[in-house]
Amino acid sequence: MEYFWYVVLVLMLAAYVVLDGYDFGAGIIHLFFGKTEKDKKAITNAIGPFWDANEVWLIATGGILFFAFPTLYASSFSGFYLPLMMILWLLIFRAIGLELRGQIHHPMWEVVWDKAFGISSLLLALFFGVALGNVVRGVNLGMVENGVSTVEAHYFFLPLWNPEFSPTSENLGVIDWFTLLLGIISVVALTIHGANWIIYKTNSDINEKLKEVVFKLNIVLVALVIVSLSVWHIIEPTPFDNFIKYPFLLLLPLLMVIGIVGLFKVKTFKKHGIGFLFSTLFLVGGLASTVASIFPKLLPSTNNVNPSLTVENVAAHEYGLAVGMKWFFIAIILVVIYMIVQYKVFKGKMDDTGYGDH
């Protein structure tokens, strides 16, 4: 039963990355490439009807984590308290940047909220990548010092960084050179994803420039992915064991490769949605491959004293998981119906939406 909920958790997280990911990417595009008022309006129109609904997937993922894996929820929400508070404030500033921008038509007012929206989107993309890096690297469960746990076995707390800025230090921080590398990969990948969404949903003059941006950033993305795979053995001596043991899992990195190769042809696509499809394949394949590489661990332990948090040892009681399954299917049907209606109502180009106009 716990494996069913593990798959649900990963799928919901993937949905959040794909859906809210293009919002983050659009915000980054808005920050660096939205030079004119016309370009800025095109970008916000592309995400206007969708961004707040997309964020619900993050709440739903947290709900599944709380219900199905309560020990992991308690451990991670206390251990990652500082970055989670920062993410919360960034989500708030990103939302009010979109909503308050059109309330007063004054250049200074508009610039402030434009920057709030763009910078928040950039930092959110960075922090979510850093978060994935922390899951891959693991944490010092039990806060072991000199071979002795100083707290409960599942508890930990991380400062934002440690003096060594190293992922192999006994006293880890949220940000080190490895987690920062994954954060930068996240920023680049989501910028590409957001650009593809804008191309898909608008006929803006900025679209041709964005195709060039996607092509160039994809070169950077390939280089960063190669570097991350090259240094992964420093964090985990046998990072590819699961793929050797279960060959069918090789389909996941294959999705990532197909996505990243397809993005090099973004300039030639006749249908504007194809680029978004390939960036989606990269994001889903990359996230799923990363999760599969550490399975069945959900949060690895970096010490030999306390065991890693796994699917088996953090799951709720089987009875509760079984009852929850019945309600989950009802909920997911309602969500799917809602999304079908939403995307049908706002299908096609969004140039004339006028989001944020007051």
pLDDT digits (tens, 9 = 90+) for 252-311: 999 999 999 999 998 888 888 899 999 999 999 999 999 999 999 999 998 888 999 999
The pLDDT of 341-347, averaged and rounded, is: 86
What is the structure's pLDDT at 357? 61
The pLDDT of 165-180, averaged and rounded, is: 89
pLDDT digits (tens, 9 = 90+) for 104-153: 888 888 889 989 999 999 999 999 999 999 999 999 998 888 888 888 88
The mean pLDDT of the chain is: 89
Q: How far apart are CA 266 and CA 96, in angstroms?
A: 33
SS3 20: helix
Q: Is residue 179 within 8 Å of 224, Cβ to Cβ?
A: no
Q: At 233, which amino acid appears? A: H
Q: Is residue 172 within 8 Å of 10, Cβ to Cβ?
A: no
DSSP state of 316: -
Q: How far apart are CA 256 and CA 206, in angstroms?
A: 27
Whole-number Cα distances in Å, 320 to 80, 249, 276: 27, 29, 38
Q: How confident is the model at residue 355 (pLDDT cuts 50, 70, 90)?
A: low
The answer to whether position 357 is within a domain reads: no
pLDDT digits (tens, 9 = 90+) for 150-169: 888 889 998 888 888 888 88
Checking if the pLDDT of 81 tops 70, the result is yes
The answer to whether position 355 is within a domain reads: no
What is the structure's pLDDT at 300? 93
The pLDDT of 197-220, averaged and rounded, is: 92
Exposed/middle/buried for residue 278 (C-beta within 10 Å: 0-12, 13-18, 19+): buried
Count CB atoms within 10 A of the CB of residue 19. Answer: 20
The pLDDT of 326-349, averaged and rounded, is: 87
Which range is least confidently modeled, 13-17, 269-273, 310-314?
A: 269-273
Q: At 1, which amino acid appears? A: M
The answer to whether position 199 is within a domain reads: yes
Share of the chain above pLDDT 70, in %: 99
Exposed/middle/buried for residue 248 (C-beta within 10 Å: 0-12, 13-18, 19+): exposed
| Enclosing domain of residue 224 | 2-345
Number of structural domains, the chain?
Answer: 1
Q: At 137, which amino acid appears? A: R
Checking if the pLDDT of 1 tops 90, the result is no
What is the structure's pLDDT at 203? 87
The answer to whether position 43 is within a domain reads: yes
Q: How confident is the model at residue 356 (pLDDT cuts 50, 70, 90)?
A: low
The pLDDT of 38-51, averaged and rounded, is: 87
The b/e string for 41-68 (b: 16+ C-beta within 10 A; e otherwise) is bbbbbbbbbbbeebbebbebbeebbebb
The answer to whether position 358 is within a domain reads: no
Checking if the pLDDT of 29 tops 80, the result is yes
Count CB atoms within 10 A of the CB of residue 2. Answer: 18
How many residues are there in the chain?
358
Q: How confident is the model at residue 9 (pLDDT cuts 50, 70, 90)?
A: very high
Both tokens of residue 213?
Answer: 């941006």
Q: Is residue 341 within 8 Å of 31, Cβ to Cβ?
A: no
- Tell which wins on pLDDT, 191 or 328: 191
